[in-house]
Structures are given as structure tokens and as C-alpha cells.
Amino acid sequence: MKKKGTKKMDMFTKEKKQLTNEQEFEIMKLVLDKFLWLGFGIMAFGLYMIISQVENVLKGFAFMIVGAILLILFMMLLVKEYKIVK
């Protein structure tokens, strides 16, 4: 005899589809591409601030550093997730 709450649990315990390594890598490339554009966009905005407003040079460098840190974090994620072999 089933308990009352088991019907809801059966709905959530369906088998998940397994992705191949190639499919998983393609999805990760799509996601990481957006974050890489975000990092370069932040750095470009920092460069724009440095060029356009002389009084905001430090603020512009701060934006460039934040963008570089973002890019380094995602590079570390890529290396950790996929072992890059020569």
C-alpha cells in the first residue's frame, strides 16, 4: 500500500536524459560565451571611462580589473571542468 505523498515523489524522480560529452561541452560553450562577453564588456566600459573622463581614471581601472578577474574566474572554471590536453 502506497503512502499518500509517494505519488508526488514519483513525478520528480523521473529518469533524466544523459548528455554526451560533446553535447555537454556545446552547452557549456554557449553559457560561457555570454559570461566572456560580459567580462570584455566590463573591461571596455572601464577603458571608455578612462578615455572619456579624465577625473574617473581610477574608476575606469577598477572596472578593467573587475572584468579581468571575471575572465580569470571563468578560465579557471573551464580548466577545472574540462582537462585541457595537448
pLDDT of residue 12 exceeding 90, the answer is no
> Bigger pLDDT: 47 or 21?
47
**pLDDT category, 76, cuts 50, 70, 90?**
confident
- Residue 22: Cβ-neighbour burial (10 angstroms; 0-12, 13-18, 19+): exposed
Q: Which residue in 25, 5, 24 sits closest to 16, CA to CA?
A: 24
Q: Is the pTM of this model over 0.85?
A: no
pLDDT of residue 41 exceeding 80, the answer is yes
